[in-house]
Amino acid sequence: MAKTKIKTKRLVTNRIRVTKNGIVLRRKAFKRHLNSGKSKNRLNRLSRVTVVKKVLARRLRKFLGKVKKQTWQG
């Protein structure tokens, strides 16, 4: 019996980025709206990209399949 192919989860390709070394990066949440109540320091922190935890990163890489996302839109 042939093994079925795993389809790439298209949503994941837009939200994460995999570096050359295999580290999975993501953006932080809570910066879309209602920003006037948040401090500049907090907004700067939310602008940064962060590393995904190892356990979740393994699952996300599986969702990506063969797609290697190197660039970010926006």
| CA distance linking residue 17 with residue 25, whole number of Å | 5
User: Can you name the residues that pair with 37 across neighbouring β-strands?
Assistant: none
Q: What structural domains does the chain harbor?
A: 10-64 (4.10.410.60)
How would DSSP label each residue in 4-66? PPPPP-HHHHHHEEE-TT--EEEE-SS-SS-GGGS-HHHHHHHHSEEEPPHHHHHHHHHHHTT
* List of the chain residues with pLDDT < 50: 74
> Rounded distance, CA 2 to CA 4, Å?
6
Average model confidence (pLDDT) for the chain?
Answer: 86
pTM: 0.76
